[in-house]
Amino acid sequence: MSSPDIGYLRQNRRVSKVASTTLRDSFSVSLTVGAYGVAFGAAAVANGFSVAQSCLLSLLTFSGASQFAVVGVMGAGGNPISAIATASLLGVRNGLYGVIMAPRLKVRGIKRIIAAQITIDESTGVALNQESRGEDAMRHGFYLTGFGVFIFWNLFTLAGALGAQAMGDIRAWGLDAAVPAAFLGLVWPRLITKRDRIIAISAVALALALTPILPAGLPIIATAFIAIAVGLRP
């Protein structure tokens, strides 16, 4: 076998290994996070939403924090305007993710609309985690995770909405730990330097301190100011 043939085979093996690693990362996050849709479906029905309304929220909104905010506000007797305002505030972060991902995905037309719909915490996190493996791996990670979470989230939302009464107290299932565990798995490999670890620890401390004071979701958004402050330093 000639040297060019050997080089070609080695390159194919590297590409195949990168693809399998990206697929593994995407699937593990998609399934873990998507399974939490059971909790949303059950919570939505428990707060007065119909099965159809619960499923439409997942299909059209597709942002877990915003969806829980809507059913929480409405379930507590709030009006639709308050629910939409709260959900929109929590969804601001997805717009920031779009700014980060747009130059990397380089999509136009209808693909831009599709990419916007699946621009969430998980798809952005997995994509950025593939950065060392090249732009193709980042794009594959983004789309595989985005579509994976979308499919699993909607399937499990339907399952949770249909089985809401049979499930009883959804907190007893421990599903609320699934999403933080998935995020920890995404963030941990990226905490390489001492500076990264200090920022992460500071963000955790700030979020914990603000949790008893601010409404749900806002403590996490507030931690972004730590990263901004560090980034603006000379």
| pLDDT value, residue 56 | 94
pTM here is 0.71
How buried is residue 50: exposed, middle or buried, by Cβ count under 10 Å (0-12/13-18/19+)? Answer: exposed
Crossing angle of the two packed helices 194-210 and 224-232, in degrees rounded to 10: 140
Q: Which residues of 132-146 are buried (b: 16+ CB within 10 A; e: fewer)?
A: ebeeebbbbbbbbbb
CA 101 to chain centroid:
14
Residue 153: predicted pLDDT: 95
Which tokens is 66 given? 């915003």
Q: What is the pLDDT of residues 199-220, one digit of tens each?
A: 888 888 888 888 888 776 677 7
Q: Considering the chain, what is the average pLDDT of its residues?
A: 80
Supply the Cα-derived Rg of the chain in whole angstroms. Answer: 20
From the list 128, 115, 136, 119, the residue with the least C-alpha distance to 19 is 136
Residue extents of the structural domains in the chain: 3-188, 191-234
Q: How confident is the model at residue 182 (pLDDT cuts 50, 70, 90)?
A: low
Instruction: Give the model confidence (pLDDT) of 133-150 as tens digits.
Output: 888 889 999 999 999 999
Q: Encode pLDDT of 7-57 as tens digits.
A: 444 544 555 555 788 888 889 889 888 888 888 888 888 888 899 999 999
Q: What are the strands, taking DSSP E only, across 121-230? A: none
Can you tell me the distance from the alpha carbon of 96 to that of 60, in angstroms, rounded to the nearest whole number? 19
Distance CA 8, CA 30 (A): 33
Beta strands, E only, 126-206: none
Distance CA 144, CA 120 (A): 12
The C-alpha atoms of residue 61 and residue 140 are separated, in whole angstroms, by: 23
Q: How many other C-beta atoms are found inside a 10 Å radius of the C-beta of residue 13?
A: 10
Q: pLDDT grade, residue 170 (50/70/90)?
A: low
Within its chain, how far is the Cα of 79 from the centroid? 27
